[in-house]
Amino acid sequence: MHKRIIRKYYKFIFKKKDVAARLDNYLIDKLPKRYTRNIIQKIIILGNVYINKKQIKNKKHLLKSKDRIEIFTLYLNKKEAILKCERLNLSILYEDEYLLIINKQFNLVVHPGTRNQEGTLLNGIKYLLENKAETRIQLKKPYIANRIDKETSGLIMVATDEKIVQNLSKQFSLNWIKKKYIAVVNGIIKEEQINKISKIVISRKKGKSRKKVCFSTFKVIERLRDLTVLKCIISSGRTHQIRVHLKELGYTIFNEKKYSIDKIYYEKIASYKKKIISRIIQDSKFLALHAKSLELIHPIFLKYLQFTSIIPFEIYMLIKIMF
């Protein structure tokens, strides 16, 4: 990736009919699409935005009627890597020109990175959108609206526009989007339901960690031999929230590697079952956590949507063997 210098000048006058009054949101609406939210916020912080001849560095600055906004951009910017199209076998539960709901398989990376430029979920989604016979949507990249770890399977929302992502993010903050997971946990949980609330690290900068309060509910579905099947309901979607909360409660998800050394007690089951479980672990490298159901309001059509997905074969076999 190469660096390039961007030199541009833009001028706007804020009017009462303009919907977005916050500075960064207003500029997202007005500036060309190549200016992402991240770039716009950097332009503001660097002092390249003037309102009524006064320099403004606050991205949350509220605009007033007839405010004169001037943007001077002169900075080094890394040229974005082009997202490659790849044909992948994706399980699509819902699809329109604004939104896709996909049942992601485990062991599939969502976003391309330094080590994974190809073979990710986004590569497959871009191929799907750009090769549709009906629409042939041309995109720089699709937008992932909710987090799912590489090892986790289940429902994931994909938007074709940044404004759709903003709408879904707002629904998350208002707790309108409901997500439910199925987890197979090591050990027997005696309580029928456990509510967990704690602060989880959401970012680390310059040696300092930033935390937010998260709430999770765990309900027992079935108790197996040395394992418990749980329904997990989360009101937020912080990184590894379910995994972290279960660890704090003294439990770990089957085949968990990051937060514990996986431990399964095989004394009570037949030897052939032990071999099948060992084979599942070695071959699939999955985590026994699945995003099973999802409820939301469509950002454009404003209709209630509800989706349910089938658990992966590996989790089904694990439950059947340990029943």
Structural domain boundaries, residue 198: 178-322
Residues 197 and 318 in one domain: yes
pLDDT for 220 equals 96
Would 227 be classed as within a structural domain?
Answer: yes
Would 318 be classed as within a structural domain?
Answer: yes
CATH number at residue 239: 3.30.2350.10
Using the predicted structure, report yes or no on whether residue 5 has a pLDDT greater than 50.
Answer: no
Residues 130 and 167 in one domain: yes
pLDDT for 298 equals 95
Structure-block tokens of residue 16: 């009462």
pLDDT tens across 255-283, in order? 887 776 555 555 556 777 777 777 777 66
Residue 227: exposure state from Cβ atoms within 10 A (0-12, 13-18, ≥19): buried
pLDDT for 201 equals 65
User: Dihedral of CA 94/96/99/104: which sign?
Assistant: positive
Would 85 be classed as within a structural domain?
Answer: no
- pTM, two decimals, is 0.71
How many domains, the chain?
3
Helix, strand, or coil (residue 123):
helix
Q: Where does a domain end: 173, 198, 227?
A: 173
Residues 101 and 143 in one domain: yes
Q: Where does a domain end: 158, 173, 188?
A: 173
Using the predicted structure, report yes or no on whether residue 300 has a pLDDT greater than 90.
Answer: yes
Mean pLDDT of all residues in 7-13 = 80
Would 312 be classed as within a structural domain?
Answer: yes
Residues 106 and 47 in one domain: no
Residues 100 and 223 in one domain: no
pLDDT tens across 88-129, in order? 889 999 998 889 999 999 888 888 776 777 888 988 888 887
Q: Which position has the token pair 């996986």?
A: 262
pLDDT for 263 equals 54
Residues 134 and 194 in one domain: no
Would 98 be classed as within a structural domain?
Answer: yes
Using the predicted structure, report yes or no on whether residue 294 has a pLDDT greater than 90.
Answer: yes
CATH number at residue 50: 3.10.290.10
- Compare 8 and 264 and report the one with higher pLDDT: 8
Q: Where does a domain end: 141, 173, 205?
A: 173
Phi-psi region of 166 (alpha: psi -120 to 50; beta: other; left: phi over 0): alpha
pLDDT tens across 31-58, in order? 877 777 888 888 888 888 999 989 999 9
* Segment among 70-79, 219-228, 250-259 with least mean pLDDT: 70-79
Residues 184 and 283 in one domain: yes
Mean pLDDT of all residues in 235-260 = 83
Residues 186 and 164 in one domain: no
Would 86 be classed as within a structural domain?
Answer: no
Closest by CA position to 9, among listed 56, 39, 50: 50
Using the predicted structure, report yes or no on whether residue 2 has a pLDDT greater than 50.
Answer: no
Residues 111 and 217 in one domain: no
Using the predicted structure, report yes or no on whether residue 6 has a pLDDT greater than 80.
Answer: no
Would 51 be classed as within a structural domain?
Answer: yes
Residues 126 and 210 in one domain: no
Residues 197 and 217 in one domain: yes
pLDDT for 76 equals 44
Would 84 be classed as within a structural domain?
Answer: no
Confidence of residue 149 (pLDDT cuts 50, 70, 90): confident
Structure-block tokens of residue 26: 């207003």
pLDDT for 103 equals 95
Structure-block tokens of residue 98: 């604004």
pLDDT tens across 169-182, in order? 889 888 899 999 99
Q: Which of 28-42, 199-213, 240-254 has the highest mean pLDDT?
A: 240-254
Using the predicted structure, report yes or no on whether residue 316 has a pLDDT greater than 80.
Answer: yes
pLDDT tens across 174-207, in order? 889 999 999 999 889 999 999 998 877 665 555 5
Residues 206 and 264 in one domain: yes
